[in-house]
Amino acid sequence: MVEKLYSEFDANLSIRAVKNKSFDENELNLKKIKAFSEVKNVCKSIEEIVILKHEKKWANAEIYGVEEEFLKLAKTKSHLVDGVNFILKEKDNFALIGATLLDKLQGFIPEKGAYESLIIYFPKRDAKISAISNPFRAEMIQVAGRLNYNKEVNEEAIIVPLELVRNSLNYGSNISVVYVNCKQKEQLFDLQEKIQKYVGKKFVVETHYEKNALIYQTSKTEKVIVICILVFIFILAIFNLVASLTMLFIEKKDNLFTLKSFGADKKFIFRIFFYEGLLISFKGIVIGVFLGLLIAICQLYFKLLILPNSGGQAFPMWITLKDTLFVFAIVSIISILASYLSISLLLKINESDVTSK
């Protein structure tokens, strides 16, 4: 889910200037970058903070002035809530906007053939604020569609044609960033290294993992925390096993001397109770794994749990053999250790009862 929400809007790689907010696009040979065998899409972009107005409503937004190739790169069609998926039509400029941002402006997407209109206020470069000067340049634009990615994009993003932003900000041949998508995920870091070597030290090439490092690190940390909680629950549950073995040992204590009389040594008696502990624990493990997989499969196909405020999005779940075996191994090790230690301790404490009556 994290990959879908954050990586489909953000390109696999972003090329930015190290020192400046923008750079001349002629400093990069984009044809050379497109020629790399691992490259799928390349798109120029200008990113800027702007102000949007719709009737009496105002909102700050992050504008993305992009080429039409960006729509393929970001898979906007699959994230379109309503409206149509384009930013240029017969040389007319249109916008795609985050769903929450449009709601904040109290706008909507009309039926086919009609478009909502917004006013974009672009900051003038090198403009001085005074009582008689206007530091913004206003442009009217029609909204073609509404997008749903993640909280940040939904609340802040508006996508418009590159030339509109370039002319409104007086950027000339300058751009903010070059987006690059690779053909296969496995090629990501090799392509990053290759492009970084080509563009030199004046530019930095970031992966979408590095751009959203906190989100991905949080996702990984969350998994570790869940495993720790599971281990803690297993340790608590193992006391039931220890209690069962203890009660069984007390119940059969009178029979231990009889076994000893028939020639059973301490190791033989240990194996009897140890294997009994394994039978009890592994019966529970097998049933638990089966029920866990059953619940996971039901969630995948029947959406038992729905994320709040997600428009019907099911709580994400995925079954892997690696994770299943990992959980099975953890519970098995804890059960074996619990059986071994508890029986060893019981035999040590009651050694006199085992050897004599």
| Predicted local distance difference test score (pLDDT) of residue 129 | 64
| Predicted local distance difference test score (pLDDT) of residue 6 | 66
Find out whether 144 and 2 touch, Cβ atoms under 8 Å. Answer: no
- Please tell me whether residue 345 adopts helix, strand or coil conformation: helix
| Predicted local distance difference test score (pLDDT) of residue 309 | 61
Find out whether 42 and 189 touch, Cβ atoms under 8 Å. Answer: no
Amino acid at 259: L
Domain boundaries, the chain: 11-211, 218-355
Find out whether 234 and 332 touch, Cβ atoms under 8 Å. Answer: no
Mean pLDDT of 262-273: 89
Q: Taking 70 as the threshold, does the pLDDT of residue 357 lie above it? A: no
- Please tell me whether residue 337 adopts helix, strand or coil conformation: helix
How confident is the model over 9-41, as pLDDT tens digits?
A: 899 999 999 999 999 999 999 999 999 999 999
- Please tell me whether residue 63 adopts helix, strand or coil conformation: strand
Amino acid at 234: F
How confident is the model over 287-300, as pLDDT tens digits?
A: 999 999 999 999 99
180: which residues sit within 8 A by CB, 6+ positions away? 11, 12, 13, 14, 15, 33, 39, 41, 42, 191, 195
Name the percent of the chain lying above pLDDT 90: 68
Is this model's pTM higher than 0.85 or not? no
**pLDDT, mean over the chain:** 89
Amino acid at 173: S
Q: Taking 60 as the threshold, does the pLDDT of residue 355 lie above it? A: no
* pLDDT band of 351, cuts 50, 70, 90: confident
Residue 61: strand pairing partners? 50
Name the percent of the chain lying above pLDDT 70: 93
Cα(30)–Cα(10) distance, integer angstroms: 19
Amino acid at 252: K
Q: List the one residue out of 137, 150, 180 whose CA is nearest residue 48.
A: 137
> 180 burial class (0-12, 13-18, 19+ CB within 10 angstroms)?
buried
How confident is the model over 51-81, as pLDDT tens digits?
A: 999 999 999 999 999 999 999 999 999 999 9
Q: List the one residue out of 239, 223, 240 whose CA is nearest residue 326.
A: 223
Residue with tokens 């030290």: 201
